[in-house]
Structure 1
Amino acid sequence: MPQAKKIGVVYTSSDSGGQSNAKKFEKLVKKAGLQPKMYTIANTNDMQQISQQMASDVDVIYAPQDNGVASSMKTLVNNANQAGKAVFPAADTMVADGGTASYAIDQHDLGRTAGHMAAKVIHGKKPANYPVEYVVKGKYVINQKQVDKLNIQIPEKIMQQAHKNGRVIK
């Protein structure tokens, strides 16, 4: 979306992870020469009003990994759709809940990695004796319904990668 200049970022004020992710993204947006507009919700009940305001103020919306935002994705997407704005979330599950697209870690891969770490502990290894494992490679996840609804053109190379290694939600 090369025409987007104002990027709305919504996060839950009481979710330290969401807050941290939103602040990091804010810095990236500024570094790219774009204008971030930060919005907070105290809980999921706030999403209706905040997302309506945000959708009227910005060109596109970013939803970081944040439990409160994830729980109210349908409200966020509904209000964004009414304003013709795309929502790009940080998590693949949030794309499945109506987000437009993402390059994100796969929640299944993350669970598998956590399971391997837990198995080491169960088998007697002390967590202090091995490094924390991370999922570092993301996958493209595209919600085709949203892309079509908002008339967004996804570059062919990205669509091919989503079909091959990621996910296209129909």
Structure 2
Amino acid sequence: MRKKLIAGLLTVTLAASLLTGCGKKDTGTDEKEMFKIGVNQLVTHAALDASYQGFIDALKEAGYEDGKNIKIDYQNANNDQSTANTIATKLVNDGNDLILAIATQSALACANATTDIPILITAVTDPAGSGLVSSNEAPGGNVTGTSDLNPVTDQIALLTKLLPTAKNIAILYCSSESNSKIQVELATAAAEDAGLTVQEASVSNSNEIQQVVQSLVGKVDAIYAPTDNTIASGMPTVAQIANENNLPVICGEAGMVDAGGLATYGIDYYELGKLTGAQAVKIIKGETETAAMPIEYLSIDKLTLTINEEVAAKLGVTIPDDLKAE
């Protein structure tokens, strides 16, 4: 009789356990069952912030929301490479299912930290040139994503159109950013083709920006600043010195123009982030793997002309009618 009672209790307990397990699975709210995404953003500035927001919004549009069915761990390295490396290690050790790396230095940190966890990168100019993937067309590993390669030639053409008397220009960038070096090469070639004389003006960190920009006053007619994270985060300093000394700055992206630059013709980083978010959705759903996903670029219709009219008026720059119309 006792044996039968124990057997009966075991049967009831097992059934209750199975029912509890099924109920837990159906809710989809248990943290262990959430798809975990770790984010390593290099630094805070308008372009990178916009790309992150676009990524989040693309996930929401696809039905994935932080705390509901995905868990997002956002980290910011404050433009420090060692911090980016530490964050990358943390995201790997925490067992994230996917890592989003925003900007080249953060992407390199994450790629060095794992070859197993899928990594999506964004705001990286040339992933292959930076050693992140085998090729932009066929990444071949655990890293893929989107590129923010700018229409550098068009930006130099914009400079010559807004500043037709300019002869000598400086290219302002951070020497430790591989994404900037690629843009410097492209800009130099485009500027020389346009008949401009080019001077490189590099900084090794944000503390050198003021001194370097001040050294350009009276030596060049304009500054070209590509999508360099150090310069972008220090753009208020660049703009203050340049605008006070009647030195126009053509920028690599719109956030830098908003911070005091003259103009740009470039990509929309929010849309770039959304493009990366769409890639993440495919990975979450198991529809594809990073090795088979080529690096993606925004289509030409996503490029935008941005002119800071207040700065143009201060510098005495006349905006041509066709640019006003655009």
Unmatched 5+ stretches in structure 2: 1-162
The whole-number CA distance in structure 1 between the counterparts of 2:297 and 2:265 is: 16
2:219 to 57, 63, 69: 57
1:10 and 2:172 equivalent? yes
Measured on the aligned residues, the alpha-carbon RMSD in Å equals 1.2
Whole-Å separation in 2 of the counterparts to 1:57 and 1:12: 20
**Structure 1 residue 127 displacement after superposition:** 2.4
| Deviation larger for 121-130 or 21-30 | 121-130
- What SS does structure 1 have at the residue aligned with 2:218? helix
Aligned to 1:164: none
Q: Computing the radius of gyration over CA atoms, which structure comes out larger, 1 or 2?
A: 2
Identical columns (%): 35
1:46 to 208, 211, 224: 208
Q: Number of paired residues?
A: 161
What's 1:139 paired with? 304
Matched with 1:168 is none
Q: Structure 1, residues 56-109: CA drift from partner, whole Å, max 9, x if none?
A: 210011001111111111111111112101101011111111111110101111
Counting only pairs closer than 5 Å after superposition, residues 17-96 of structure 1 correspond to structure 2 as 17-96=179-258
Task: Give runs of ≥4 in structure 1 deviating > 4 Å.
Answer: none
The amino acid across from 2:294 in the alignment is P
CA shift at 1:132, angstroms?
A: 2.4
Equivalent pair of 1:48/1:79 in contact (CA under 8 Å): yes
How far 1:17 moved relative to its partner? 0.6
Q: Partners in 2 of 1:110 and 1:101 — Cα distance? A: 20
- 2:85 match: none
Deviates more, 1:130-139 or 1:96-105: 130-139
1:104 equivalent among 243, 266, 280: 266
How high is the TM-score relative to the length of structure 2? Answer: 0.48
Question: Matches of 1:56 and 1:72 in 2, distance apart?
Answer: 21
Structure 1 residue 34: Cα displacement? 0.9
Structure 2 CA distance, aligned partners of 1:95 and 1:136?
22
1:114 is the counterpart of 2:276: yes
The amino acid across from 1:24 in the alignment is: L
Using the alignment, how far apart are the partners of 2:227 and 2:295 within structure 1?
A: 20
Q: Report the AA paired with residue 23 of structure 1.
A: E
Corresponding residue to 2:325 among 142, 160, 167: 160
For residues 111-162 of structure 1, the C-alpha deviation after alignment (integer angstroms, 9 at most, x for no partner) is 111111121111111123343221142110111111111111111121121x
